[in-house]
Amino acid sequence: MVSKKKKKYSSGEGAQFMTRKAALKKLQLTLKDFRRICILKGIYPREPRNRKRAQKGAGGIKTLYHTKDIKFLLHEPILWKLRELKTYQQKIRKARAMREYRQMRRYLRDYPDINIDHIVKERYPTFVDALRDLDDCLTLCFLFSTFPSLKRVPRDQSMLCRRLTVEFMHAVIAAKALRKVFVSVKGYYYQVEIEGQTITWIVPHHFSFQPQSKDEVDFKIMSTFVEFYTMMLGFVNFKLYHSLNLVYPPKLTAAFSADSDKDLVDEQQYVSERIAAMNIPVVRITGANEVEELPEIDIFNTEDEDPQKLEEAKEEAEKVKKLKTMFKGLKFYINREVPREPLVFIIRCFGGEVSWDKDHFVGATFDESDESIAYQIVDRPSMEKQYLSRYYIQPQWVFDSVNARTLLPINKYLMGAVLPPHLSPFTDKIRDQVYKPPEERELLDPNLKPLNDDEGSDTDVEEASDEDAEEKEEDSDGDPDEALAKQYQQEVEDESSTEDEDDIDPEKKKIAKEKKKAMAVTTGVPHKEHPYQKEIEDKQAFRLREKLVRKKHRNLYKSMKAGQEKRKKEIWLLRKKRRLLDEKAKEEKKAEKRKQRNQALEAASA
């Protein structure tokens, strides 16, 4: 029996992939609706291994999707909702054309809404899955929360993003989950740790908004992403608040007097400003206490247990425990020129209290004249009125102290001082071919203290004296092996001299001496190696390994080597630039000292 010939592209990559045009035809959707449902369901185009087979022999580059993903969309209930929306839109257009405005208003009133709760539960079955995918969600929601009403962005969506992001920040404050912060040109980078998951996001700077002059950004697609992310963030906030024993939606505790509330014209504006300031603790569930601290790390016996890793984990847990209460019991006062929201968020996360001028902003908890204020955050060169009971510091001190996990000395951050470089904490401790300035090395290893050029520490002097003493001993004794051999021979001679010569036969005595001499330790002859021989052999072996690289990977290898050489050159240039700058600064410092000394001598002689 003759077997039937298999049709071309009916199996393999030809059957695994489908073009976007074929997907639209199969789902009977417009491109706009197809994009929306793909964003909501998390379906993205795929890259095949062999594009010609996947495109069934067609040339060019087409957008391809997995056939299974498109078949999966066939059973999605939202498809019927989209078709229902299209029907309603046609009815509204027809009523407007026929000038049946009463009918049109009725259609607009009964316009169906799309509920995507089931999609969030489907994509994130557990809470940890949602936390893992929260980085992009928070970044986009914080971005939309800063937008005014735009042409393609609904005002309700921006307000919802603002409310959800502030709720999340309140939860982070209550959980004391903040770990790292960084200020860049893009905005404020935050990193929190919730249930063992690390979440990093960016909050843009609050500058005056300039609308887009051209249609460079497709706000409609971004708005579709935000539609899904707001639903997801609502679920996350609900779960977070209940795990922290907080009331959801959050309610603020009554921390202000009624007289101050009456002074404000718009109560709603006052409440929104008070929530945005995040200076008021939220209400807890009645009868619930604060979240208990995590217990000490349990140690389990495993096959590959490493005591060093266990010790590092214990040290990290201890550092995090101290970090959570770093600002506890300290009061901060913020001047009006300093951005309030990031500083209030950071200080409250670590147990501090914050306030500002109540005449300019609502939500102040104490006045500037309070003597218990420890730090006043100022971003100006000088102030007329100052209190002796507090330190006047610049905002960077707060960020650097959080990254260093300790209260840094304030002498570099005083009012009007030239600030040290603000380094990013989002770096790997072990990085190859990357220039690390001295400040970053100090950040990664706080125990590393660079020596001053003028004077050294006492411990270093003691260590140097100990090393000199050891060198002297080695010089006096010579080689250590030779010294041991001499000591052994001396002991052998002492033992032989103490023996009783009358009782021992001279021949036996002679044999015993020869045996002891044979057992003596002799000095070995060191093998002198060529200083560059090993390096030459390693280079030769490396060239042989390079020749074994396959032909198809050779160009990739060459580009990798070129990149390595480029990075080496950049590191060398940066080190040279830093060295020149340091030398210039030293010369200027010496010249300034010389000038002051000359002025003092002239004043003394006059």
If we measure between CA atoms, which residue out of 281, 144, 282, 118 comes closest to residue 203? 144
If we measure between CA atoms, which residue out of 62, 50, 55, 59 comes closest to residue 17? 55
In angstroms, rounded to a whole number, what is the distance separating the alpha carbons of residues 531 and 545? 23
Give the model's pLDDT for residue 497: 58
In angstroms, rounded to a whole number, what is the distance separating the alpha carbons of residues 187 and 38? 30
> Token pair for residue 53?
């087979």
In the three-class reduction of DSSP (H, G, I as helix; E, B as strand; rest coil), residue 333 is classed as strand
Q: Which of 58-67, 351-360, 491-500, 508-517 has the lowest mean pLDDT?
A: 491-500
In angstroms, rounded to a whole number, what is the distance separating the alpha carbons of residues 469 and 475? 10
Q: Assign domain 317-426 to its CATH superfamily.
A: BRCT domain (3.40.50.10190)
Give the model's pLDDT for residue 318: 82
Residue 324, Cβ density class (10 Å: 0-12 exposed, 13-18 middle, ≥19 buried): middle
> How far are the Cα atoms of 83, 117, 232 from residue 69, in angstroms, in the given order?
20, 20, 22
Tell me the average pLDDT across 173-188.
92
Q: Which helix (H) or strand (E) holds 376?
A: strand 375-377
Tell me the average pLDDT across 278-297.
63
Q: Provide the residue ranges of all domains of the chain, joining segments of one domain with +.
A: 13-109, 117-207+218-250, 317-426, 539-605
> How far are the Cα atoms of 162, 240, 285 from residue 246, in angstroms, in the given order?
19, 9, 5
Tell me the average pLDDT across 36-53.
91
In angstroms, rounded to a whole number, what is the distance separating the alpha carbons of residues 422 and 339? 17
| DSSP sequence for 215-253 | --S-HHHHHHHHHHHHHHHHHHHHHHHHHTTB-SS--B-
Give the model's pLDDT for residue 206: 79
> Token pair for residue 546?
């390079």
In angstroms, rounded to a whole number, what is the distance separating the alpha carbons of residues 473 and 467? 10
Q: Which helix (H) or strand (E) holds 163?
A: helix 155-175
Give the model's pLDDT for residue 132: 93
Q: What is the pLDDT of residues 231-260, one digit of tens each?
A: 999 999 999 999 988 888 887 665 444 344
CA 387 to chain centre: 37
Q: How confident is the model at residue 134 (pLDDT cuts 50, 70, 90)?
A: very high
Per DSSP bridges, beta strands 375-377 and 391-393 are parallel
Give the model's pLDDT for residue 504: 60
Q: What is the pLDDT of residues 489-508, one digit of tens each?
A: 676 566 555 555 555 678 88
> How far are the Cα atoms of 419, 441, 451 from residue 448, in angstroms, in the given order?
20, 8, 10
pTM across the whole model: 0.72
In angstroms, rounded to a whole number, what is the distance separating the alpha carbons of residues 578 and 377? 31
If we measure between CA atoms, which residue out of 402, 423, 398 comes closest to residue 410? 398
> How far are the Cα atoms of 457, 570, 582, 592 from residue 453, in angstroms, in the given order?
11, 27, 11, 16
Q: Is the pLDDT reported for residue 263 higher than 60?
A: no
In angstroms, rounded to a whole number, what is the distance separating the alpha carbons of residues 425 and 323? 15
Give the model's pLDDT for residue 498: 52
Q: Is the pLDDT reported for residue 152 higher than 70?
A: yes
Q: Is the pLDDT reported for residue 264 higher than 60?
A: no
Share of the chain above pLDDT 90, in %: 30
Tell me the average pLDDT across 513-526.
79
Give the model's pLDDT for residue 255: 44
**Number of other residues whose CB lies within 10 A of the CB of residue 167:** 22
Q: Is the peptide bond before 281 cis (omega within 30 degrees of 0)?
A: no
Give the model's pLDDT for residue 529: 77
Give the model's pLDDT for residue 444: 62
Q: How confident is the model at residue 298 (pLDDT cuts 50, 70, 90)?
A: low
Q: DSSP E strands: which ranges in 164-314?
A: 178-183, 187-194, 197-204
Q: How confident is the model at residue 119 (pLDDT cuts 50, 70, 90)?
A: very high
Report for 129-143, 155-169, 269-283, 375-389: range of highest mean pLDDT: 129-143
60 contact partners, CB below 8 Å, separation of at least 6? none
Q: Is the pLDDT reported for residue 471 higher than 60?
A: no
Q: Which residue has the higher pLDDT, 281 or 465?
A: 281
Q: What is the pLDDT of residues 422-456, one digit of tens each?
A: 888 887 666 667 777 777 777 666 666 553 434 44
> How far are the Cα atoms of 20, 444, 448, 582, 583 from residue 579, in angstroms, in the given order?
57, 21, 19, 5, 6
Q: What is the pLDDT of residues 533-569, one digit of tens each?
A: 888 888 899 989 988 999 889 999 999 999 989 988 9
Q: Is the pLDDT reported for residue 199 higher than 90?
A: yes
Give the model's pLDDT for residue 460: 42
In angstroms, rounded to a whole number, what is the distance separating the alpha carbons of residues 470 and 465? 9
Q: Is the pLDDT reported for residue 184 higher than 80?
A: yes
In angstroms, rounded to a whole number, what is the distance separating the alpha carbons of residues 443 and 380? 26
In angstroms, rounded to a whole number, what is the distance separating the alpha carbons of residues 344 and 352? 9
Give the model's pLDDT for residue 472: 45
If we measure between CA atoms, which residue out of 235, 29, 223 comes closest to residue 119? 235
Q: Which of 263-277, 448-462, 587-601 has the lowest mean pLDDT?
A: 448-462
Strand order across the 197-204 sheet: 178-183, 187-194, 197-204
Q: Which residue has the higher pLDDT, 504 or 134?
A: 134
Q: Is the pLDDT reported for residue 528 higher than 90?
A: no
Q: Is the pLDDT reported for residue 599 higher than 80?
A: yes
Q: Which residue has the higher pLDDT, 229 or 369?
A: 229
**Number of other residues whose CB lies within 10 A of the CB of residue 378:** 21
Tell me the average pLDDT across 49-55.
88
Give the model's pLDDT for residue 315: 80
> Token pair for residue 432?
């190859």
Supply the mean pLDDT for the chain. Answer: 80
Tell me the average pLDDT across 327-334.
90
Give the model's pLDDT for residue 366: 84
Q: Is the pLDDT reported for residue 411 higher than 50?
A: yes
Residue 460 one-letter amino acid: D
